[in-house]
Structure 1
Amino acid sequence: MATVILVRHGRTTANASGTLAGRLPGVRLDDVGTEQASRAGERLHAVPLAAVVSSPMERCRQTTDLLLAAHPAAPEVTTEDGISECDYGEWQGRPLKELAKEPLWKVVQTQPSVAAFPGGESMHTMSTRAVAAIRRHDAAIESAHGAGAVWVAVSHGDIIKAILADALGMHLDLFQRLHVDPASISVIRYTGTRPYVLASNSHAGDLGWLAPPPAKHGEGTSDEAAEDTAEDTAEDTADDAAVGGGAGPSTRP
């Protein structure tokens, strides 16, 4: 039952100018994006990270470096082509206001499952390879580090929306209902029963609550015993949804 923290890259010069960057080289964070990525890193400071995986695009690698700059125990970064930006083909490098006049724009908005970019890939292909990559890494990280492992994947807006849609059981045609801002954080926990979306498009708040619970200890106070009982119950039903909403994550360090 590993947990993946999905981070979109910070704002880029292309984002700021309203250009679809796609896979063009040389697209970097602007000053706002640099600050956004650093703030996201502050949110991760208290989370023990088992692994970090990044899209190979420069803006994602730059964001990853800023995320981990002050982390007390940052793992080595792995590059993953499966979560790289969508190949927008002939659309990349063009202004969004110009693209909005193309007939394909409406298809992308209303029926993305059948949208294919000229000279690029389809959105269905994009979704399939991104979801497969995330699930593959998640299974490998859980196998290597245990069910409490937490890891980070740094990627792109449409990629993260597709991964969230899959976790929510949404058809790809509905994924435009999701929103993923630059440097926002979304969280998914995969289990044998189903994925759980713990956060989506979040911008603030310490994520220390995602840290695995402490190892079991001997008998202590009645309050500690009650907490242990609650933890035992949670572990017994770890893959199940808590009827009534559950008690939430432990607040103790």
Structure 2
Amino acid sequence: MATVVLLRHARSTANGSGVLAGRSPGVELDENGRKQADELVSRLAAVPIAEIVCSPLLRCEQTIAPLVAGRGLTPVTEPDLAEVDYGDWTNRELKDLAKEKLWSVVQQHPSAAVFPGGEGLANVQSRAVAAVRAHDARVASTHGNDAVWLLCSHGDVLKAILADALGQHLDSFQRIVVNPASVSVVQYTETRPFVLRMNDNGGELASIVPPKPKPSEADGSRPGDAVPGGDPGRTA
């Protein structure tokens, strides 16, 4: 299996507005978000990206645009990586939503949360995890198990994917923080995922690139095995 860079879209006009934008059309990157998108080109310069998969929403498309132009790649649009369908909560102010009974369920028991007129967070995790694993298998089949690909999506969607990769129940996913333009990295194997980075906001990324496969492993380990005592790390 391959390695996926989980990228949250850069800062949008809705971030910090106090309104739950959800799937509202026309939500663009703000000035800071456009700068963050441009900076991704240099941040990921040392990472050979085989493919880019993206949520269909505009703020995600704008986030990957500089990277797509620089790499000459054609992104794959994946509807199952779209933002949560918040239904009747869409475009409402967060201060008002915090007074709803459902708010505490979203905070404390998100696996049971279903947004009125929208979808449940359990369904969000199900569709997003299925999509990332299907694309990962496809990328590995096409480009090899040492391939790296990039996925651009939204905060709650990425938190749900990371919770699955960490083996956590969805009810723990609110403990995970995923900032705008942050990078998390998951390496999938036949037996388990390995979480290499979480909410990285500017560190070097060269070391996430998998080493070229060797004819045989000197320590006798197999792909998917965890290293007792801790991974020795990689040289960039």
Identify whether the pair has TM-score above 0.5, normalized to the shorter chain. Answer: yes
Corresponding residue for residue 135 of structure 2: 137
- Distance in 1, matches of 2:73 and 2:228, equals 36
Correspondences of 1:23-34 after superposition (within 5 Å):
23-34=23-34
Corresponding residue for residue 242 of structure 1: 227
Q: Could you tell me how far 1:214 is from its partner in structure 2?
A: 5.0
Corresponding residue for residue 181 of structure 1: 179
- Distance in 2, matches of 1:68 and 1:206, equals 20
Q: Could you tell me how far 1:245 is from its partner in structure 2?
A: 1.0
Q: Is the 8 A contact 2:27 2:59 kept in 1?
A: yes
Corresponding residue for residue 59 of structure 2: 59
One of 96, 99, 107 as aligned partner of 2:97:
99
Letter aligned with residue 79 of structure 1: T
Would you identify which runs of 4 or more consecutive aligned residues in structure 1 move more than 6 Å?
none
Q: Could you tell me how far 1:247 is from its partner in structure 2?
A: 1.7
Name which of structure 1's ranges 88-97 and 154-163 shifts more when overlaid on structure 2.
Answer: 88-97
Q: Could you tell me how far 1:42 is from its partner in structure 2?
A: 1.8
Q: Could you tell me how far 1:145 is from its partner in structure 2?
A: 0.7
Letter aligned with residue 53 of structure 1: V
Q: Secondary structure at the match of 2:218?
A: helix
Q: Is the 8 A contact 2:88 2:117 kept in 1?
A: yes
Q: What is the root-mean-square deviation of aligned Cα atoms in Å? A: 1.8
Change (3 A) 1:121 1:249: same
Letter aligned with residue 41 of structure 2: G
Q: Could you tell me how far 1:246 is from its partner in structure 2?
A: 2.6
Q: Could you tell me how far 1:236 is from its partner in structure 2?
A: 4.2
Q: Is the 8 A contact 1:213 1:250 kept in 2?
A: no
Q: Could you tell me how far 1:234 is from its partner in structure 2?
A: 6.6
Q: Secondary structure at the match of 1:108?
A: helix
Letter aligned with residue 58 of structure 2: E
Corresponding residue for residue 192 of structure 1: 190
Correspondences of 1:1-253 after superposition (within 5 Å):
1-70=1-70, 73-213=71-211, 232-233=217-218, 236-251=221-236
Could you tell me the TM-score, scaled by structure 2's length?
A: 0.94
Q: Could you tell me how far 1:244 is from its partner in structure 2?
A: 1.0
Q: Could you tell me how far 1:81 is from its partner in structure 2?
A: 0.4
- Distance in 2, matches of 1:191 and 1:140, equals 13
Q: Secondary structure at the match of 1:52?
A: strand
Gaps of 5+ in 2: none
Name which of structure 1's ranges 130-139 and 7-16 shifts more when overlaid on structure 2.
Answer: 7-16
Q: Could you tell me how far 1:69 is from its partner in structure 2?
A: 4.0
Q: Could you tell me how far 1:235 is from its partner in structure 2?
A: 8.2
Q: Is the 8 A contact 1:56 1:81 kept in 2?
A: yes
Gaps of 5+ in 1: 217-227
Could you tell me the TM-score, scaled by structure 1's length?
A: 0.88
Corresponding residue for residue 220 of structure 1: none
Q: Is the 8 A contact 1:42 1:67 kept in 2?
A: no
Name which of structure 1's ranges 242-251 and 94-103 shifts more when overlaid on structure 2.
Answer: 242-251
- Distance in 2, matches of 1:211 and 1:196, equals 13
Letter aligned with residue 7 of structure 2: V
**Once the two structures are aligned, what percentage of the paired residues are identical?**
53
Q: Secondary structure at the match of 1:46?
A: coil
Question: How many pairs does the alignment contain?
Answer: 236
Q: Could you tell me how far 1:215 is from its partner in structure 2?
A: 7.6
- Distance in 2, matches of 1:23 and 1:50, equals 28
Q: Secondary structure at the match of 2:47?
A: coil
Residues 184-207 of structure 1: CA deviation (Å, up to 9, x unaligned): 000000001210000000101221
Letter aligned with residue 41 of structure 1: V
